[in-house]
Amino acid sequence: MKGLFSALLVPFDEKGQVLEKGLRELVRYNIEVQKIDGLYVNGSSGENFMMSKEQKKQVFKIVSEEVNGEVPLIAQVGSINIDEAIELGKYATELGYDSLSAVTPFYYKFSFQEIKAYYESILKETGNTMLIYAIPSLTGVAMSMEQFDALFQNEKIIGVKFTDSNFFLLERLRRRFPHKLIYSGFDEMLIYGVVSGVDGAIGSTYNINGQRAKQIFDLCHKGQLKEAYAIQHTCNDLIERVLDLGIFATLKEILKVKGVEAGTVKSPMQALDESKRSEIEALVRTFDL
């Protein structure tokens, strides 16, 4: 379960329906071209929170079929509807997903005891393991060291997807929990996570830029930080342009240029303006994607 996981994008048609052929192509592209170590399915990058429960199940099933055991799979099932989270967790577990993940419940100001009960309920009902998905910038839930400690007492909670810029907390977690899995969640801060001792990384840009990200991992582990920083600079130049253009629509357009049927984004997100097509093609050439 260690290594680089793509936060898998999901191709949609103009009516918001999942493009099965495109999703299968995207899975193959991640495994065969980007050489990723695993897939994180139905996370933020998959536009999960705009999908129906049936669409989420559809994605879980297609990805499971296409991967067929080649790489580990993590199923993000988090929802503020606990019944949906449990149902999706059971479904992914039946399909053979290696672990579940769940974003902390959001929107309402849930207490820590409520958050803890949420994770415990999913684990009890599914029998699978769990990666906490900590992304305070979007959920408003910033857990403390003491709260992580309380959650990690449960052996079924095997780690965390740490999408946070609090590197002091990351260092403390790594030191206190050497046997828990910690994944870096910010692509633009990958090198800092690797230096801090993360076990892997989960990110959206790895769908198109996984090979460079893996180079950062390898160089850091060899102690070649100067070379790793040079690659991170290149990655961040790319990420900066992708963010300027609109991350998910831009990533899908880049994949289209590479021959993957990546579809479009799901409403209310907006597709990339066709006038920007030349900029996308220039990105592919400039960054040798």
Catalytic residues: 133, 161
Residue 167 burial (C-beta neighbours within 10 Å; 0-12, 13-18, 19+): middle
Kindly list the distances between the CA atom of residue 242 and the CA atoms of 58, 72, 125, 153, 250, in Å, as whole numbers in the listed order.
28, 27, 39, 39, 6
Give the phi and the psi of residue 136 in degrees, each rounded to 5: -60, -25
Is 280 annotated in some ligand binding site? no
Contact 64, 96 (CB under 8 A): yes
Contact 6, 207 (CB under 8 A): yes
Is 129 annotated in some ligand binding site? no
103: left (phi over 0), alpha (psi -120 to 50) or beta: beta
Contact 198, 183 (CB under 8 A): yes
Query: CA-CA distance, 102 to 77, in Å (whole number)?
Result: 5
Kindly list the distances between the CA atom of residue 130 and the CA atoms of 1, 64, 104, in Å, as whole numbers in the listed order.
12, 18, 12
Is 121 annotated in some ligand binding site? no
Is 83 annotated in some ligand binding site? no
Is 234 annotated in some ligand binding site? no
Query: CA-CA distance, 240 to 101, in Å (whole number)?
Result: 28
Summarize the annotated binding site for pyruvate as residue ranges. 202
| Residues of the binding site for aceneuramate | 44-45, 163, 185, 187-188, 204
| Residues contributing to the annotated binding site | 44-45, 163, 185, 187-188, 202, 204
